[in-house]
Amino acid sequence: MKAIYDLPAPAKLNLFLHITGRRDDGYHLLQSVFMLIDWCDTLHVELRRDGQLSREDLTTELPPDDLVLRAARALQIFAAPGQGAHIGVAKHVPAQAGMGGGSSDAATCLLALNRLWGLNLPLSRLAHIGLKLGADVPFFLGGRNAWVEGVGEQLTPVTLLPAHFAVVKPPEGLDTRLIFSATDLERSTPVAIITGFAAESESLEATNLKNSVLSASVFDFGHNDLQPVAQRLCPAVTDAIEWLGAQGLKARMTGSGSSVFAKLPQAPQEAELLKAPKGWQVRQCSNLEVHPLCGWAT
């Protein structure tokens, strides 16, 4: 195998995000549901036999040493001498948006190079490597919508009903570090239990969670503890929430922002979404049942 092309790296939305505490090492403990959506970056990987790693920016210019190259270096330790790669990245998911674009790119890179180099590392090993790159990487490697706990590494798959969402990214981005270092960040939201989230579905059997399809009402569960800080630091977050609210949509921020989203009714609203203020990225997205590369590692 000399190349693998058109590899998707989907974004995610946080249906809610609760900060429940902080570890002694400074990492925050969270609870969330991560949901894959069909807003994707695309990667292409080609084998190099000189042991070098290189990256080509096919759309947006990326930082010189981004998560894709860091992921490739972390995996190359397990490769045979002389195995390298050239990686093309077509970036479409906005940065500093709370949508996990960089982490998703890293996960897709790990899955692709694991196959290109014939390493056959199990998913558990890739997830261990991924966690050192970023807390969201194991989720994208896992390949399924998930209830997330710990610092992002504890994943319980959940099955969500198909749904459509309006996703809005204002021109301004947000630095995750600024959000989590804010003195006014809420860090003591009471711990929820997954069956409490799932109880939003009347038909759920709590003992059979992994095989249950959760009802549409779970999309309204909880809140995002990062949102008040983000709105203070970036007024455009409030503007986006209010803009969606004016269309009768209940919006909240995803991750550490600055993107916000709202569940759409059955009838598409694409015509209204096209009227967004200049400079905003607005997209109508659908959730994904599984990651397109789910099953690429055992």
Q: Which CATH superfamily is domain 160-286 in?
A: GHMP kinase, C-terminal domain (3.30.70.890)
Question: Does pLDDT of 198 surpass 90?
Answer: no
Active-site choice (12, 91, 169, 263): 12
Residue 24 annotated in active site: no
The Cα 212–Cα 189 span in angstroms is 27
Q: Do 3-158 and 160-286 share a fold?
A: no
pLDDT in tens, 211-249: 555 666 788 889 999 999 999 999 999 999 999 999 889
Q: Which CATH number fits domain 3-158: 3.30.70.120, 3.30.230.10, 2.60.40.3880, 3.40.50.10490?
A: 3.30.230.10
Question: Does pLDDT of 182 surpass 70?
Answer: yes
Give mean pLDDT, residues 80-97: 97
Six-digit token string for 232: 């203070």
DSSP label at residue 144 = B
Residue 12 annotated in active site: yes
Residues 35, 287 contacting (CB under 8 angstroms):
yes
Question: Does pLDDT of 290 surpass 80?
Answer: yes
Burial label for 177, CB within 10 Å (0-12, 13-18, 19+), is exposed
Poorest-pLDDT segment among 12-16, 48-52, 56-60, 244-248? 244-248
Domain boundaries, the chain: 3-158, 160-286
Active-site choice (41, 66, 136, 225): 136
pLDDT in tens, 68-88: 999 999 999 999 999 999 999
Q: DSSP characters for 230-265?
A: HHHH-HHHHHHHHHHHTTT--EEE-TTSS-EEEE--
Poorest-pLDDT segment among 145-149, 198-202, 249-253? 198-202
Percent of the chain exceeding pLDDT 70 equals 90
Question: Does pLDDT of 270 surpass 70?
Answer: no
pTM of the model: 0.92
Question: Does pLDDT of 24 surpass 70?
Answer: yes
